[in-house]
Amino acid sequence: MPNLFRLGVLAVGLALARAGLIDETRARRTTELAWPRIVTGIARMSKNAVDVAMVGVAVGSSAIAGVGIAGPFWGLAFAIGGGIAGGTIALVSQRYGADAYDELGQAVRTSAFLVVIASLPLVAVFWTYGPQLVGLLSSDPEVVRLGGDYLRLVGFGIPLAGLNLVGSRVLVGSDDAYTAMVVRAGGAVANVVINAVLIFGLGMGVEGAALGTVLSNAAVTAAFALGLTFGRLPGAGRFPVTVDPVGGYVDRATARDLIAIGAPVMGRNLVWTVAEIPMFAILDIFGSDVVSAFVIARRVWGLLNTPGWGFGLASSSLVGQELGTGDESTAEAYGRDIIRFSVAVYIVSAAVVFAFAGPIVEAFVDDPTGPEVPIAVDLVRVACVAIVLQGVSGGAAGPLDAAGDTRWPFASQALGMFGVSIPLVLVGALTPLGIYGLYLAFLAETAVPAALNYYRFRSGAWKAVSREYRPEAGRADD
């Protein structure tokens, strides 16, 4: 099955190459880095769906609500870890391209140190105030109890989830997305199995779901640590780089670079998590049917957006490697080709979902004649149009991330969401514009960052920014 994804993505790339729109060699290299990340994303999303289904069957709808409300707090793990990992892939890819392996190892160790230091306070807060945090978003005592129990335990997985993101980005930045896929997708499968044992076998309910998440993340962290230390991992094969685990972890210059690059990535990851609060508050004005339709559309959106995860990381790696050697023209060529490649894949997947929007929405509901269904179908079709613009936005952000120019994508995402998208929903709720405000909000969420990120990419300013973060071997030629 995973090979079908690779062949499908490659077919689109080769078609573009035959049309003279991208270079065939770059299409093949991009495919090899992108498809494993796409599969990993699908595995993760499927695991999340199965987890929710398990607690729903075992405990009931209150457990689903509690775990769902705890979700944004757990999402902080990916905001923090993903932010630091954004700096990791920029530094690692440039050092890998320049054969500066000592500096590469320092970047990895410092990344791991920062993830642990940044995430430990959250572990303490979630353990101490889990129920109170869930209570901020729900007045149902049972939902608060179950969600609080889940959050208190799952919080211990936050440092581990962050370390997993760093480990994955080290491999992708070193031209090996396949091994990262094997390790992380394997962890997702293990999570489902462990949860089944804990939830149904031992009757642990939401606490079993939380503990399963922690244990599976611990296993993945151990796998990355062993592979990077010894250069290989049974079942996953050889790793492209090794890292000395007893070297220095605190290097101020490296930490400054990681924070400067990673903080905007962290902010970008937080945009949607933070935006959920005012968005749902405004949607409540429309009524529960619109809220339900919106939730369904966002789930479909998440599935549609998985190609962007692959292309974004492929761009960060390949562009970063060329920047590490000082070859800015080839770096720009990779960035341009990946944007076109990404948009083409999004068009294909969006066209399929657009055509089957009705049956897809009906798969999420018990009653296919419910009032939320036609609203959700329309929202999904709008999402299919908007997701193509996400291909431009994410594709253009990849070279900026590789260069360390991460403030621009963060600002564009925040402006699109808080400056345009949410205000459009509010206008729709308070004026005759109505539901069309929500449709426009979907488009604005991607159109604004697409325009701004592409403008920044075309300006070439990101190449100058990259010179501040390149390894010494690359800077010598500047």
- Tens digits of residue pLDDT in 428-473: 999 999 999 999 998 999 999 999 999 999 999 999 888 887 665 4
- CA 264-411-123 angle, 5° bins: 35
For position 262, what pLDDT does the model report?
81
Task: Report the b/e string of 264-298 with b at 16+ CB within 10 A.
Answer: bbbbbbbbbbebeeebeebbeebeeebbbbbbbbb
Q: Which two tokens stand for residue 467?
A: 């010179």
pLDDT of residue 439: 93
- Write out the two tokens for 43: 């595995």
Q: Give the burial class of 254: count Cβ atoms within 10 A of its Cβ; 0-12 exposed, 13-18 middle, 19 or more buried.
A: buried
Q: Is the pLDDT of residue 61 over 80?
A: no
CA 151, distance to chain mean position in Å, is: 21
Phi, psi of 237 (to 5 degrees): 85, -160
Phi-psi region of 72 (alpha: psi -120 to 50; beta: other; left: phi over 0): alpha
Give which of 383, 315, 304 is closest to 346, Cα–Cα: 304
pLDDT band at 267 (very low <50, low <70, confident <90, very high): confident
Q: Are the C-beta atoms of residues 172 and 91 closer than 8 Å to each other?
A: no
Question: What token pair was written down for 189?
Answer: 């499968």
Q: How confident is the model at residue 98 (pLDDT cuts 50, 70, 90)?
A: confident
| pLDDT higher than threshold 60 for residue 1 | no
143 contacts: CB under 8 Å, gap ≥ 6: 62, 65, 66, 69, 134
Question: Model confidence over 336-358: pLDDT tens digits?
Answer: 999 999 999 999 999 999 999 99
Read off the pLDDT band of 476 (50, 70, 90).
Answer: very low
User: Cα–Cα distances in Å, from 152 out to 74, 149, 231, 398?
Assistant: 10, 5, 35, 35
Count of CA atoms in the C-beta half-sphere (13 A) of 230 = 11
91-95, 163-167, 349-353, 392-396: segment of lowest average pLDDT? 91-95
For 12-67, what is the HEC assignment? Answer: HHHHHHHCCCCCHHHHHHHHHHHHHHHHHHHHHHHHHHHHHHHHHHHCCHHHHHHH
Is the predicted pLDDT of residue 189 greater than 70, yes or no? yes
DSSP state of 210: H
> Which residues on adjacent β-strands are paired with residue 237?
233
Model confidence at 477, pLDDT cuts 50, 70, 90, reads: very low
Among 73-77, 92-96, 176-180, which is the least confidently predicted range? Answer: 73-77
Q: What is the dihedral of CA 34, 35, 38, 43, to 10 degrees?
A: -140
pLDDT of res. 114 = 92
Does position 321 have pLDDT exceeding 90, yes or no? no
The whole model's pTM is what? 0.72
What angle do helix axes 24-58 and 61-97 make, rounded to 10 degrees? 160
